[in-house]
Amino acid sequence: MVDENTLAPKEDQDPRAKREHSTRELEARTESWKPPSVLPVPEKQDGWVFRWVRVSMRGDADNTNVSKRFREGWVSVKLEDHPELQLLSDIDNRFDGAAVVGGLMLCKMPVEKHRAKSEYLSREAGDQMAGVDNSFMREEDARMPLLKTERRSRVTFGDGS
């Protein structure tokens, strides 16, 4: 025997309740914990590229590297401009107010300058490869031609057939 009261919906419950009235937030899984990154990531800013620059290694100051990066166009980021980093100030106070973590200082550069630097370095690498190719092909003899240089790699699986 089936009790009719158990099959019928209660008066205060609508069997066709809309989804937005349900409590999905309560049923959501808790987010798993993961350790924080050693180097925090700053919030993105339009027109700027960020990079961590080495200021010391094994406790010894690396002024040469810092000076070189500053001459390239990198500028140090002030902690007051990025409160989301949650860092303590530099203990030595060599870089007053700068974002420094474990011998690395956060720096930024305008996107246009970074793009120009990348294009320059790509052009330099291409010129170097052209020089290597020219030097190699100079040794070519018509009786024994050298293979054309190929800069692609292929991956095969199995027996190769």
Q: Give the model confidence (pLDDT) of 96-116 as tens digits.
A: 777 777 777 888 999 998 999
* Residue 136 reports pLDDT greater than 60: yes
> Tell me, what's the pLDDT at 82?
79
Angle at 50 between CA 47 and CA 51, to 5 degrees: 155
Q: For residue 137, give the H/E element and its range.
A: helix 111-137
> Tell me, what's the pLDDT at 12?
58
Structure tokens belonging to residue 8: 């019928």
Question: How crowded is residue 63: how many other Cβ atoms within 10 Å of its Cβ?
Answer: 11
Structure tokens belonging to residue 48: 């700027």
Contacts of 32 (CB under 8 A, 6+ apart): none
The mean predicted confidence, pLDDT, of the chain is 77
Structure tokens belonging to residue 75: 């500028």
> Tell me, what's the pLDDT at 125?
92
Strands 60-61 and 48-54: unpaired
Which residue bears the tokens 């200021």?
A: 55
> Tell me, what's the pLDDT at 24?
60
Please answer whether residues 50 and 106 qualify as being in contact, where contact means their C-beta atoms are separated by less than 8 angstroms: yes
Once rounded to an integer, what is the mean pLDDT over residues 30-44? 77
Give 59-76 pLDDT, tens digit per residue. Answer: 888 889 999 999 999 998
Once rounded to an integer, what is the mean pLDDT over residues 78-89? 73
Q: pLDDT class for 25, splitting at 50, 70, 90?
A: low
Once rounded to an integer, what is the mean pLDDT over residues 6-33? 61
> Tell me, what's the pLDDT at 93?
63
Contacts of 71 (CB under 8 A, 6+ apart): none
- Decide: pTM greater than 0.85: no
Once rounded to an integer, what is the mean pLDDT over residues 128-145? 79
Looking at per-residue pLDDT, the higher value among 56 and 32 belongs to 56
Measured distance CA(130)–CA(109) in Å, rounded: 30
> Tell me, what's the pLDDT at 68?
93
Measured distance CA(70)–CA(50) in Å, rounded: 13
Looking at per-residue pLDDT, the higher value among 93 and 105 belongs to 105
